[in-house]
A and B are shown apart, each in its own frame.
Chain A
C-alpha cells in the first residue's frame, strides 16, 4: 500500500482517512470493521518524536487499516495506518511500571521503522483489541484482494479463446446443454458458498464480502437478462425479477457495526452508520420514512448481524447529539418516523392544499391512499400528514361507511349569522361550483 503524498507532514506513515458526514470511516472495497475503542492517543516512541501525536480519538481496527478519528473536531484530521505497513507488533510486557500506566500497544511500521504507541486512556477491552489486531495483521486481507484481482484479469483474458474447447481444455459452454450446465455449475458454486457460510458463524463474517459480491453479480445478470430475451418473459416473471433486483441492491453493509466490534460505543457508532445508511431509502420514500420500515431496510442490509428494535430506536435518538442531516420525529399519534432535517412541513402542507383544492377533490375529498399517490409517500405517512393538516385546520374529516376522507376545511368561511350567504371569491364558492357541476 502506498502512503499518500499528503501524509508526509505526519511522518510518512499516516494517510488521511476519509469519513462520512456523520463521522464514520469510509471503508474500502472488501474492508471489514473489526474493533473500535474510544479515548485513544497515538504517540511516537522515538526521541525526538517522528510524528505529531494524535490526542483523544476513536480507534477503529479493520481488516486493512488502523483508523484514528478525533472524537471532537480539533486540529487533528482523521488518519489511518495500513496494516500492510506494520512490520512488528511488540508483545505486551507486564511489569510494575505498566500497572501504573494506561495500557498501551507498541508496533513498528514502515517506512523507516517508526515505532508507534497506542495509548488507551479510557475503558475498553484492551486484550480483545490486541488479539484482534494480531488476527487482522496475520490475516493479510489486503494480499487476498490483490490475488483475486489478478485472477479475475486472468479469467477475463481466457474468454478470448475460440472453438469448442477452452484454453484449459474443458468443453466450452455451447448451445442449450451448455447453458444448462453453466446454470448447474453456478447453482453448485452458489450452494457451496451458502453452505460454507452457514457452517460456522465466525466464518460467516469473512464470507460477508463474498455474499455481497455474489448479490452484486446476480443483480448485474438480472439487469442484463431482459435485453437478451426478446420479450418472451411474462409480466409476473418481470415483476419477480425487479423484486429480486431490489433485494440484491439492498444487500450491502459489508461491515455492520456490532456490539462485539464497537463495545461501549455500540449505539453511538450504530447511530452514525444508520445516519449514513438512511439517505437512500429516505430519498426513495420522499423524505420521510417510518421507523418500522427503516428497521426492515436496515436489518436486511445488515444481513446476519440483526439489531433489535430498541437498538434502532436508541441509535436514532442519539442523532440529536451528532451533526447528521437526518432526525427522528414523533407524531401526535405516536408514530415515529425518520426524516431529513431539510424536510419541511410547510412544503408538504402546501402540496396537500394544492391537492384538496382541485375541483375534483374539493367535491369528493381525499383518502390517505389518494394522498400517498400524489405525494409519492407511504399511505401510513400520508395519513399522518393529513391528520396534522387537519389539526392545523386546513382539512376536516368525513366518516362514512366507505371510510375516512378528508376535505378542504370550509367551516371558517361560512357565516353563522347568515347561513345562506356565500362570498363570491372563496373556496366555499369554488366548492359549490364543483358540487353543482355534478348535479347538472
Chain B
C-alpha cells in the first residue's frame, strides 16, 4: 500500500467508489464515517490544522487509481466532521475548515499539563513561546495552530487558570498562568 509521507494509507484508499459520493443512504453513511476517520487520523499524524476545500489536500486525490473527490464530496465529508464537533468552518462559504482532532477542551487540558510538566504554574509566557519555545519541543503543542491555541487559552482564562494581556508588539500576546 502506498504512503503519504510517513502516513500509512488504508487498503480501501485504492477502492474507486471510495472517491465517489455514494447516493444510497446506508452506503453513504458508512463512506462518510470512513472518510471522517481517515481525515482526522491523517491530520493528527501530519499536524495539519487547516484544510482548504479548493486547495490540494493529499487525501483528496489518488493518482494510483486516477480518482479525486468532487467539491461536493469534500464539503460533505468535512461537514460531517464539523457536525461531530471535530472541526469548524472558518468562513460562511465553507472554503476553509479548521480540524480539531483534539477538541478545544482537550487542547486546554494539554496546555495545563504542559504548564505543570514544566513548572510554569506562576510564570509569564508569550503565546508564540507556547507554540515554538524550547519547552514545547516534542510536545503536541509544538506548531499548534494559533487560532486553536488562542481558543484553548481563552477557555482557560474563563476558568481563571490564566490571564491574557497585550504584549509590546501587536502580534504577540502574553499569558500569565495561575494554575
Q: List A residues at the B interface (Cβ < 8 Å).
A: 365, 390-391, 393, 396-400, 405, 407, 409-412, 414, 416-417, 419-420, 422, 428, 431-432, 435
Contact = CB atoms under 8 A, between A and B. Distances in A.
A400 B16 contact: yes
Given A393-B27, A400-B66, 7 more contacts: A398-B17, A409-B17, A409-B27, A410-B15, A414-B30, A420-B11, A432-B11
Of residues A397, A407, A411, which shows the largest number of chain B Cβ atoms within 10 Å of its Cβ? A411
Contact of B34 (A390, A398, A419, A435): A419
Contacts of B31: 396, 411
A405 B8 CA distance: 27
A398 B27 contact: no
B12 A393 contact: no
Interface in B1-27: 8, 10-12, 14-17, 19-20, 22-24, 26-27
A416 B10 contact: no
A359 to B, nearest CB: 15
Given A411-B31, A420-B10, A422-B11, A405 B26 contact: no
Q: Is the interface of B mostly helix, strand, loop or mixed?
A: helix
A390 B26 CA distance: 11
Nearest to A364: B16
B38 interface: yes
A407 B18 CA distance: 10
Contacts of B24: 390-391, 393, 396
B48 to A, nearest CB: 17
B102 interface: no
B26 A400 contact: no
Contact of A411 (B14, B19, B30, B38): B30
Interface in B61-84: 66-67
Contacts of A417: 37
B8 A398 contact: no
Contacts of A420: 8, 10-11
A431 B11 CA distance: 10
B123 interface: no
Contact of A419 (B17, B19, B30, B38): B38
B27 A419 contact: no
B9 to A, nearest CB: 9
A420 B14 CA distance: 13
Given A391-B24, A420-B8, A398 B16 contact: yes
Interface residues of B, number: 24
A405 B66 CA distance: 14
B41 interface: yes
A416 B27 contact: no
Of residues B17, B26, B31, B37, which shows the largest number of chain A Cβ atoms within 10 Å of its Cβ? B17
B33 interface: yes
A393 B26 contact: yes
A406 to B, nearest CB: 8
Given A414-B12, A419-B10, A420-B10, A396 B27 contact: yes
Nearest to B36: A416
Contact of A405 (B14, B16, B27, B34): B16
Given A393-B26, A416-B34, A416-B37, A365 B16 contact: yes
Contacts of B10: 414, 419-420
A293 B41 CA distance: 52
B20 A397 contact: yes
A431 B15 CA distance: 9
A410 B16 contact: no
Interface in B26-47: 26-27, 30-31, 33-34, 37-38, 41
23 contacts: A365-B17, A390-B24, A390-B27, A396-B17, A397-B17, A400-B16, A400-B66, A400-B67, A407-B15, A409-B27, A410-B15, A410-B17, A411-B30, A411-B34, A416-B33, A419-B10, A419-B34, A419-B38, A420-B8, A420-B11, A422-B11, A431-B15, A435-B14
Contacts of B33: 416
A407 B17 contact: yes
Contacts of B14: 435
A428 B33 CA distance: 17
Given A410-B15, A419-B34, A397 B23 contact: yes
Nearest to A404: B20
A398 B67 CA distance: 9
Contacts of A396: 17, 20, 22, 24, 27, 31
B30 to A, nearest CB: 4
Contact of B27 (A399, A411, A422, A435): A411
Contacts of B30: 411-412, 414, 416
A396 B27 CA distance: 7
Contacts of A393: 24, 26-27
A398 B41 contact: no
Contacts of B38: 419
Contact of A410 (B12, B23, B41, B67): B12
B147 to A, nearest CB: 28
A329 B153 CA distance: 64
A417 B16 CA distance: 21
A398 B23 contact: no
Nearest to A409: B27
B76 to A, nearest CB: 14
A409 B30 CA distance: 11
Given A409-B27, A412-B30, A419 B41 contact: yes
A407 B12 contact: no
